[in-house]
Amino acid sequence: MYSVVNTATIYGIDSKLISVEADISEGMPIFEMVGYLSSEVKEAKERVRAALKNAGYALPIKRITINLSPASIRKTGAGFDLPIAVAILSAIGIIECEKLPTICLCGEIGLDGKIQPINGVLSMAIEAKKNNFEVLIVPKDNLMEARLVTGIKSIGVENISDVIELMNEGKFEEQTVDMLGTSKFSEDEYDFSMINGQQALRRACEVAISGMHNMLMVGPPGAGKSMIAKCIPSILPKMDDKEQLELSKIYSVCGMFDERKGLIQARPFRSPHHTVSAQGLVGGGHNPHPGEISLAHRGVLFLDELTEFNKSTLEILRQPLEDKQVNISRASGSFTFPADFVLVAAMNPCSCGYYPDLNRCHCTRLSIQRYLSKISQPLLDRIDICVEAPTLNFAQISMKQKNESSEEIRKRVIACHEIQNKRYADYEFRFNSQIPSGLMDKFCVLTDQEIEYMESMYEKYSLTARTYHKVLRVARTLADMDLCSDIRLEHLQEALCYRGLDKRYWEEGI
Amino acid sequence: MDSVQFQYWFMKNEDISYGKKPKLIDYFYDSYNLYNASKSQLMATGILDEKTVDKFLEGKKKFDLEKEYYDFCNSPFSFITIESDSYPEKLRNIYDYPYGLFYIGTLPDFSRAVSIVGARRCSAYGKKIALELGEKLGEAGFTVISGMARGIDAYSHRGCLNSGGNTVAVLGSGCDVIYPRDNRLLYEDIVSSSGAVISEYQMGSSPVALNFPRRNRIVSALSDIVIVVEARDKSGSLITADFALEHGKDIYVIPGRIGDSLSTGTNKLLSQGAGIIYDIDGFINQLQDAYGQKTSVNKRPKEKINLTSEQKKVLSMFDEYPKSLATVLEESHMDYLKLISNVLSLERIGVLTEVFKNNYVKMV
């Protein structure tokens, strides 16, 4: 009167195998579940009991004990309903299946016995395949997602009676499913050809993506900062299969995966509202789930109205920006979520938005100072490119001309990325923005004339060692874009124009 | 006992308002008599009501003349009252002259004094003009008077200090209270140069809004000429200008463009008949002629700046108000890199100044 069934639970963005044991013995009629369960897993008891009854199978009047092991992992999610039901049915002999040890299953059960879709099937399928299971039984609605993983038989089931029938027959054959649009690449909704004017800003975006530099746009309201930001994913190179799977896994765990489209192919663009909480941004919760920065993995994280964000929330970005991943430690364990994104931020120059136009701006110097100092220096230090976004006049907006499309820009970006990949093949980093300061002399070589120039600029702009290195990194990217092996004066000049918001604008001594 | 001690006692007195103090001295002739006046004598003046008189007499008893004065002498501050001969003659001439002034530093001669006032939130252009005016006036031997507020005031003081001239800051707070606080360095520089920071208010008074219009009357009274550099429609500088009219001083104005909010106040003054400064050197020469003596001003030849034709073209696209690099780029259809390199070289020469992220102002 004992049986064991395999399933998996989400752990971070990966999955862990869980075995569900059922034991039915003489004693008081009790349905007991143990094994470090969260409340939604405990509720499975009631769902399973009702579902089995409605499917025509009464639970025996005996002592039923369910154990989910290993007991050290906290179990969350509704995916345990199906394995629990199968374990009980198998223990009481309704299901007799020899292949049970080679089957992994998951799914939520409704009171009528219907099997409901769950989150994170992709990740579970990957884990099941890794552990050499032959069959994966998932809710029918999750079938296409499970099929993205090849090498394991995925079977979709609609209700509990189907499962019993399937198991007793012992014939596990894959049904055919229609996949939608897997071959067709969805066109980007936003394209740089939609942007009129804003040459400087377009250029800055290209530079930023070419070297994977983080970027800050400063400009009055209505300058088109958000619009431009939305176009940025379209100039990023396409993701390879590994990256697509990685990203799809994150979205699947968060329940944001549209399985009909297959693996996610478009670079993500995440634009959280400025009221976002720290957990929402970097991930968290009792059982940590990925936050906005992980959803922006391999894509763009756009923070509009940067100054309106909670200061402590922004500070949390510092570590992920360095490490390209975020470590979250909770009582239930330590989780690592990938977070390799380009940060694009936008802000107004002051609270009314029009500084330095003194005819329209009515902010005092103190209020401008207060507004701008909402962003901490350490965060600004991680932003290599800072650019202003001016408002456009009517002629520029209504101009009907052919603008360069994202496709053309992307070609140049890819070429630039290839140069960098080749150059940094022996190193851990991949892009100019990540050159460690120790290797600056190796990759950013200046001639005497340029050193002299930078020396005079160093004093004029009161640069620091850190800002100087930032300028050099951007100059390196500019040189790569020009297919130049050496950094030249014009690259330094342009890079100087992109240097960060300077404290001297608002902390002017008298 | 020294009469100065009585003066100090009356300066420190807070029971009688600033306005009534000179009237009482007028009546009793000096603070010694006032100190010894009986209640009935004080009531007979008709200036004070009974409650104030009682308070005044009560306060007098508690005041230790010797000790308080001794303590004050050990502080870096000084004071001057209408009973003293060195009280500025120009102040005596106005209707509501202050009984006395606290100050720190050295009180200069106010015979050649010009005050410069203007907006706190000034433009880069206003800053440049204020600095230049302060510097050239200081060089020509004029005392530059202003209010040590942010913006134009502070730049005029700084300009004057740059040329080693005398400058006097009249505060709306106690003269030991530095307001705004970011002007601390300026305050210290004024004190350590041959200038002074003065205030009619008690030591330690906080800068309440009410004090500033009264402060402006002293700024105007101490000077011969009031120059308004930049002022908005309802600017405090216009109050100074009103006082200047009342005191019969000359008002000069730096003209501005129509539609520029920082010029509405100044242009209004122009329409009411204020003098116009269109050439700073010419204005100062004119002033020196008027004062008869010509203090030696070594006229520096204007630095000749050699610009390439391309640089000239780029420079011509910028203006006296902040213009962003991107805007110029859209307007000029110039190559981005070429524009940047020219702008940076112009900034290096000093004819362009970056006032905000990639926003430049012409400085010629």
Mean of all residue pLDDT scores within chain A: 88
Question: For chain B, which domains are there?
Answer: 3-74 (no CATH), 113-290 (3.40.50.450), 309-362 (1.10.10.10)
Q: How far apart are CA A16 and CA B267, in angstroms?
A: 77
Mean of all residue pLDDT scores within chain B: 89
| A284: confidence class by pLDDT, cuts 50, 70, 90 | confident
Q: Assess contact for A434 and A256: CB atoms under 8 A.
A: no
| Tens of pLDDT, residues A462-492 | 888 888 999 999 999 999 999 998 999 999 9
Taking Cα atoms as reference points, which of B95, B203, B324 lies closest to residue A349? B324
Ranked by mean pLDDT, the top range of A362-376, B229-243, B325-339 is: B229-243
Chain B residues interacting with chain A (CB cutoff of 8 angstroms): 120-121, 123, 150, 154-155, 158, 182-183, 185-186, 259-262, 321-322, 324-327, 329-330, 336-337, 340-341, 343-344, 347-348, 355-359
In angstroms, the separation between the Cα of residue B183 and the nearest Cα of chain A is 7
Tell me if A510 and B185 make a contact (CB, 8 A cut-off): yes
Tell me if B326 and A396 make a contact (CB, 8 A cut-off): no
CB atoms within 10 A of CB B60: 17
Q: Assess contact for B69 and B5: CB atoms under 8 A.
A: yes
| Tens of pLDDT, residues A399-439 | 777 888 899 999 999 999 999 999 999 998 999 999 998 89
Q: How far apart are CA A334 and CA A279, in angstroms?
A: 15
Residue A290 has pLDDT above 70, yes or no: yes
| A251: confidence class by pLDDT, cuts 50, 70, 90 | very high
Average pLDDT rounded to a whole number, residues B259-269: 91
Query: Could you tell me which CATH class the domain A2-169 is placed in?
Result: alpha beta
- Tell me the chain B residues in contact with residue A359 when contact means C-beta distances shorter than 8 Å: 259-262, 321
In angstroms, the separation between the Cα of residue A212 and the nearest Cα of chain B is 21
Partner residue opposite A510 with nearest CB, options B186, B341, B358: B186
Taking Cα atoms as reference points, which of A149, A147, A151, A150 lies closest to residue A175? A147
- Tell me the chain B residues in contact with residue A457 when contact means C-beta distances shorter than 8 Å: 344
A246 Cβ neighbours under 8 A, 6+ residues apart: A297, A298, A338
> What is the predicted pLDDT for the residue at A363?
83
ipTM of the complex: 0.74
Residue B299 has pLDDT above 60, yes or no: no
Under 8 Å CB pairs connecting chains A and B tally to 91
Taking Cα atoms as reference points, which of A427, A441, A432, A508 lies closest to residue A470? A432
Tell me if A356 and B330 make a contact (CB, 8 A cut-off): no
- Tell me the chain B residues in contact with residue A200 when contact means C-beta distances shorter than 8 Å: 325-326, 329, 336, 358
Residue A183 has pLDDT above 80, yes or no: no
Tell me if B336 and A200 make a contact (CB, 8 A cut-off): yes
Phi-psi region of B312 (alpha: psi -120 to 50; beta: other; left: phi over 0): alpha
In angstroms, the separation between the Cα of residue A220 and the nearest Cα of chain B is 12
pTM for this structure?
Answer: 0.82
Residue A262 has pLDDT above 90, yes or no: no
Tell me if A218 and B150 make a contact (CB, 8 A cut-off): no
Residue B17 has pLDDT above 80, yes or no: yes
Partner residue opposite A460 with nearest CB, options B150, B337, B348: B348
**What 3-state DSSP class applies to B27?**
helix
- Tell me the chain B residues in contact with residue A357 when contact means C-beta distances shorter than 8 Å: 321-322
**What 3-state DSSP class applies to A312?**
helix
Residue A510 has pLDDT above 70, yes or no: no
- Which CATH topology does A192-504 take? Rossmann fold (3.40.50)
> What is the predicted pLDDT for the residue at B345?
87
B259: nearest CA partner in chain A: A359
Q: How far apart are CA B346 and CA A121, in angstroms?
A: 61
Higher pLDDT, B220 or A220: B220
Chain A residues interacting with chain B (CB cutoff of 8 angstroms): 197-201, 203, 218, 349, 355-359, 364-365, 386-390, 392, 396, 456-457, 460, 489-490, 493-494, 496-497, 501-502, 505, 509-510
Tell me if A203 and B336 make a contact (CB, 8 A cut-off): yes
Where exactly are the structural domains of chain A?
2-169, 192-504
The 8-class DSSP code of residue B93 comes to T
> Residue A22 has which token pair?
């059922």
B175 Cβ neighbours under 8 A, 6+ residues apart: B77, B102, B103, B104, B197, B198, B199, B201, B203
Please give the share of chain B, as a percent, with pLDDT higher than 70: 97
| Tens of pLDDT, residues B139-195 | 999 999 999 998 999 999 999 999 999 999 999 999 999 988 889 999 999 999 989
Tell me if B259 and A359 make a contact (CB, 8 A cut-off): yes
Higher pLDDT, A460 or A469: A469
Partner residue opposite B326 with nearest CB, options A349, A388, A502: A388
Tell me if B357 and A493 make a contact (CB, 8 A cut-off): no
Residue A187 has pLDDT above 70, yes or no: no
Residue B358 has pLDDT above 70, yes or no: yes
A202 Cβ neighbours under 8 A, 6+ residues apart: A192, A195, A228, A404
Q: How far apart are CA A463 and CA A317, in angstroms?
A: 24
| Tens of pLDDT, residues B73-122 | 999 999 999 999 999 999 999 989 999 999 999 999 899 999 999 998 88
- Tell me the chain A residues in contact with residue B121 when contact means C-beta distances shorter than 8 Å: 358, 364-365
Tell me if A198 and B326 make a contact (CB, 8 A cut-off): yes
Tell me which of A33-37, A45-49, A369-373, B167-171 is least confident.
Answer: A369-373
In angstroms, the separation between the Cα of residue A390 and the nearest Cα of chain B is 6
Average pLDDT rounded to a whole number, residues B3-26: 91
Tell me if B330 and A199 make a contact (CB, 8 A cut-off): yes
Q: Assess contact for A166 and A157: CB atoms under 8 A.
A: yes
Tell me if A358 and B121 make a contact (CB, 8 A cut-off): yes
> What is the predicted pLDDT for the residue at A208?
95
> What is the predicted pLDDT for the residue at B265?
93
| A139: confidence class by pLDDT, cuts 50, 70, 90 | very high
> What is the predicted pLDDT for the residue at A460?
82
Partner residue opposite B330 with nearest CB, options A396, A493, A510: A396
| Tens of pLDDT, residues B114-135 | 999 999 888 888 998 999 999 9
| B8: confidence class by pLDDT, cuts 50, 70, 90 | very high
> What is the predicted pLDDT for the residue at B298?
55
A419: β partners: none
Average pLDDT rounded to a whole number, residues A365-386: 86
Tell me if B330 and A355 make a contact (CB, 8 A cut-off): no
Tell me if B357 and A502 make a contact (CB, 8 A cut-off): yes
> What is the predicted pLDDT for the residue at B362?
86
Tell me which of A64-68, A178-182, B292-296 is least confident.
Answer: A178-182
Mutation target to probe the A interface, by most A beta carbons within 10 A, among B229, B356, B359, B361 is B356
A219: β partners: none
> What is the predicted pLDDT for the residue at B294?
58
